[in-house]
Amino acid sequence: MLNDNQIHGASDRLFHHWQDGRCLTALPQRMRPSTRAEGYAIQALLDHRTNEPLFGWKIAATSLAGQAHIGVDGPLAGRLLREKVFSDGASLSLVGNRMRVAEPEFAFRMVHDLVPRTVAYGVEEVLDAVETLHPAIEVPDSRFEDFVHAGAPQLLADNACAHLFVLGPAAEAPWRSFDLAHHPVQATVNSGAPLTGSGENVLGDPRVALAWLVNELSTLDIVLKAGQVVTTGTCMTPIPLAPGDKVEADFGALGRVAVRFSA
């Protein structure tokens, strides 16, 4: 079991590599998490590394493609730092990014706090605490050279591969009446042939993924706060990127979101 000094040491090493755009093979054995709880404890120290309120949360590996991409068999929760969040149409850099993929996602902004409790939250109860639905694109990365074999505890310590995040405008359509599980999403790179996905790829339904995140935080004794955004994981196979690319994701009546990558 890791002690406080080891947890802080792991957090320092991962955060500095993130800020410098560097990668490492693995955390030293003396500070390497061996359980999800230890991974989350290391990740939690990110709360003290920003002067801004936490923007929200991400879920990694909610699709089979996403799980295969990072070598895990189930979802992981990570923090969205406000300084890593951008608006629709942003121009971002891929310098130092080893994953080099874009992930179109359904994101939800909360209007009420959801506090930890012993009884699991149901999907409808969670949706009652949502204010708006947004199309979004996540641009993940890892601080590990071989992120596919790093394992879930280290990837949780690595903030579930969080990096950059682009939030589109709130959907104007009455999204609560939509079948999000079967809602189609198309994406293009440089206006090329469309790539396809759907909400079904996100734990079967983005609303189910949102409830998973709420209950995961509850087990960690963390409040999901009003105003925070939860992005629920890629709804299609992660899209390979190169400098100069422009990615557009079309969620139909729910809106569009785009991001450009500097050459």
pLDDT tens readout for residues 65-85: 888 889 998 999 999 999 999
Q: Sign of the C-alpha dihedral, residues 108, 112, 115, 118?
A: negative
Q: Band the pLDDT of 165: cuts 50, 70, 90.
A: very high
Based on its alpha-carbon atoms, the radius of gyration of the chain, rounded to whole angstroms, reads 17
In a domain, 207, yes or no: yes
How far is residue 12 from each of residues 45, 48, 82, 263, measured CA to CA in Å?
9, 11, 19, 31
What does the pLDDT read at residue 117? Answer: 98
Residues whose CB falls within 8 Å of the CB of residue 12, separated by 6 or more in sequence, listed in order? none
Distance CA 73, CA 131 (A): 31
Closest CA to 125 of 110, 135, 139: 110
Query: Considering the domain boundaries, does residue 218 fall inside one?
Result: yes
CATH of the domain at 215: 3.90.850.10
| 71 falls within a domain | yes
Q: What total of structural domains would you count in the chain? A: 1
Q: Is 8 helix (H, G, I), strand (E, B) or coil?
A: helix
Q: Is residue 47 part of a domain?
A: no
Is 115 contained in some domain? Answer: yes
Q: What's the confidence (pLDDT) of residue 168?
A: 98
DSSP H or E segment with residue 60: strand 56-60
Joined together, the tokens standing for residue 156 give 């949780």
Domain-embedded: residue 126? yes
Q: Is residue 21 part of a domain?
A: no
Whether 149 shows a pLDDT value over 90: the answer reads: yes
Does residue 108 sit within a domain?
Answer: yes
Whether pLDDT at 63 is above 90: no
**Could you tell me the residue range of the domain that residue 63 belongs to?**
52-261
Residue 221's H or E segment, with its range, is none
